[in-house]
Amino acid sequence: MMALVTTADDTSRELNLRVNGTAYRLRLDHRTTLLDALREHLGLTGTKKGCDHGQCGACTVLVGACCSRPAACTSRT
């Protein structure tokens, strides 16, 4: 997964994501987690929400070649 983040305004950001080889452009609230972006905005429900805090590991996704918990994910270029 690759993300390019640009500032849109004070409450949202525009993100360009490439997930599983498909490019997406989203405008999301600053508080949206990677998990919620994947599940709620892209309809990719394979990643599960477990503890809702990113501590149990249920929400782990692969970012590039690294495992990442969506709650801790930062933008990558």
What CA–CA distance (Å, rounded) separates 28 from 11? Answer: 8
Residue ranges of domains in the chain: 2-72
CB under 8 A, 24+ apart: contacts of 21-29: none
What confidence score (pLDDT) does residue 2 get?
54
Tokens describing residue 33: 């987690």
Instruction: State the 10-residue block means of pLDDT for the chain, 77 residues long.
Output: 58 87 91 89 89 80 68 50
What confidence score (pLDDT) does residue 42 get?
93
Q: Would the pTM count as exceeding 0.85? A: no
Averaged pLDDT score across all residues of the chain: 77
Q: Name the CATH superfamily, with its identifier, for domain 2-72.
A: Beta-grasp domain (3.10.20.30)
What confidence score (pLDDT) does residue 31 get?
87
What confidence score (pLDDT) does residue 77 get?
43
Are the C-beta atoms of 13 and 30 separated by less than 8 Å? yes
